[in-house]
Every structure is written in structure tokens, then in C-alpha cells.
Amino acid sequence: MVEGTVAIWLNISTIAILTFILANGAVSALVCVLAQQFLTLQVASRKTSLWLLVTLPWIASLCVASCFFYQYFYASPFEPTLSFAHWHHISDFNWLSWHGVTLLIGLAFIAYVFVSKLRQLHKHQQQIKLLAEFSQPLGPNLYLVDAPYASAFTSGFFKKRCFVTKPLLASTSTTEQAIIVGHEQAHAKNSDPLKKWLFSILALFFVPTIAKRLKLHMTLAMEQDADNAVINNEFEPTIVASTLVKVARLNAQQSPLAHSELVANFGADVLEQRVHFLLGQLNLKPTNPWLTAVFVLSTLIVCIVSIDSLHHFIETIFNH
């Protein structure tokens, strides 16, 4: 049994985990219901919305935990009590209770996610370092790889590198090569490999089906953004689209790095939507800021007012 200030901190951590689960459920429900609607949003709005969705459970946890923290550490006895910021025996914490089990499972899962992702990062860095040693520089941040497959991709967080393979260059025209390189340089400029990796970490805290949808929507948004950058460099959308289809066909045998969460590649990812986007066949619109604000505020309010009721409900099932 832990008592006093340490117990309060541990109980508030448990509150944060329960809040995270509630907010995670709200986001998951929204993604299930409106998954196809994301495809109708403008690229910039879609990326912002996706980042908001994957971070909302963390924001909600922080807000609710801060309310309890303020109530028990800084609130004046003369101030009105926050009715929702109540936790039965908050100054007592038992590791063998459901509070302790919940906290241990939550911390263990967080540790698992970050350790696995750091191991993935270390392995990827070794692969990229080895690849760079056997690559031929073609220009700023651009390397030619002598590989048996046709591929182009970008990697690196702070020192970005764009790679193209010899078979890809041998199978494409000068214009197509300029489009491919411009696309990869746009990924490097936007720091997409870093953002894609960070997004994949946050997405891992959702159930696999929801995580897959979120990552797929973010991948599409990043690819469309890079495609749009090439169009802005005065290449015709139809030529960019035809280049994309051609490279997708050449990607029958891809690099093992092509679908890594630490690279952005010019390939067959979400091909159909990218082609429709390039040909102007999608009627995209910005996110409605009022509906977004309503969803965020509703999620925060539900989490805040539900945490005490959830606590009492669990108490009827498990012994404190």
C-alpha cells in the first residue's frame, strides 16, 4: 500500500490511462463512421485532422489529469470543489488493486511501443547507412543505388536522403526522372519520413484496424502533397499521373525498405486515389472548423464528466 503524495500521483496516472481509453474509443468511433469522408478533405486539412485525432487521447488525458492535479495540490479550501475531480481514497494506492493493474498494463504497453519503435529506428538507420555507403551521389541529398529493382524513396530525419535505383532510371525518360526526383525532394523538404514514423507511433495506441486506417490516410495525404509539389513545379498533372502508373508497374519487385514506416516512396501506395487527385477528379473541401471544435470539446467534456462514474462502475466489479 502506497500513501500520501506518491499515491496521489499514481492514482492520477491511472485516471490519465482511463481517460485515454475513453478518448481513444471516441476517436475510433469517428474513424469507423467517417473513414470515407476523409478522402473528400483537402490535403492540408486532412493532415491536420489526422494529427489531431491521434493526439486527442493524449490531450484529453493531460486535461483531465491536470484537473485532478490542481484539485488536490493547488486548489484553495475556500474555492468551490470540482465535482468531477473526485477519486475515492486518492491518497491511498494499492498495486494489487485494479488501479495498480491498470497502471502497470498501461505503462508496460507504452514501454513496449517505444522500445519496439526505437529498435525499428536503429535497425533502419543501419540499413540506410549501409545503403548510402554503396550508393553514388547524384546531387544534393540524391543517391543512385545499384539494385535489381526499380524504386525511389526518401529516408532520414535530420539528414534526409533521396534514393533512386538504376533500373528505375533506365526505364524512365528525363521528364519522368525529374518528376520522380521532385516528388522525393518534396518528401525530404516536408520531413515526411520523420512525421510518418511519429504518426505510426501514435497510431499504435489504437486497435490494429483503426491504426491501419489512420496510417493509410496519412500516407495518402503525404503522397498527394508531394505529387502536388511536382505539379507546382510546372509539370502537367497528366504526365505526373502517367509517371506514377508507370512506376507502379515497375514496382512489381520492390525494395524491402519500400513500405517501411520510416521512408516515403514514389510507388504504388494508394495509387487509385493519387491518380484521381492528379487528374482533378476529386472534389476536395477544407475541414469544417466548427464541427472539429465541437467534436474535440465534446470528447473532452465526456471524458471529464465520465471519469468519476467510470470509477464507481469499475468499483462495483473489482474490489478497490
Task: Report pLDDT digits (tens) over 164-178.
Answer: 989 899 999 999 999
Cα 318 from Cα 316, distance rounded (Å): 6
Q: What is the pTM (predicted TM-score) of this model?
A: 0.89
Task: Determine the average pLDDT of the residues in 101-111.
Answer: 92
Q: State which residues form the domain around 62.
A: 2-315
For residue 320, is it within any domain?
Answer: no
Model confidence at 203: pLDDT above 80: yes
User: What pLDDT was estimated at residue 319?
Assistant: 57
Residues 6+ apart with CB under 8 A from 153: 162, 163, 184, 255, 257, 258, 263, 264, 265, 266, 267
Element (H, E) at 139: strand 135-139
Element (H, E) at 135: strand 135-139
Task: Determine the average pLDDT of the residues in 232-243.
Answer: 85
Q: Which residue has the higher pLDDT, 27 or 147?
A: 27
Please state the domain count of the chain. Answer: 1
Model confidence at 229: pLDDT above 80: yes
**β-strand pairing of 161-165 with 142-145:** parallel
Model confidence at 317: pLDDT above 80: no
Chain-centroid distance of CA 75 in Å reads 36
The proportion of the chain whose per-residue pLDDT surpasses 90, expressed as a percent, equals: 38
User: What pLDDT was estimated at residue 26?
Assistant: 94
For residue 185, is it within any domain?
Answer: yes
Residue 225 pLDDT grade (very low, low, confident, very high; cuts 50, 70, 90)? very high
Of 99-103, 104-108, 116-120, 305-309, the one with minimum mean pLDDT is 305-309
> Any alpha helices (H) in the chain, and if so which ranges?
5-34, 43-73, 98-133, 166-170, 174-189, 192-203, 208-232, 237-250, 271-278, 289-315
For residue 78, give Cα distances in angstroms to 71, 72, 75, 84, 87: 12, 13, 8, 17, 20
Task: Determine the average pLDDT of the residues in 193-201.
Answer: 94
For residue 137, is it within any domain?
Answer: yes
> Across the strands, what pairs with 136?
144
Cα 292 from Cα 276, distance rounded (Å): 26
The residue count of the chain comes to 320
For residue 177, is it within any domain?
Answer: yes
For residue 25, is it within any domain?
Answer: yes
Average pLDDT, the chain: 84
* Residue showing cell 507546382: 232
Task: Determine the average pLDDT of the residues in 258-265.
Answer: 69
Task: Determine the average pLDDT of the residues in 204-210.
Answer: 95
**β-strand pairing of 152-155 with 263-265:** antiparallel
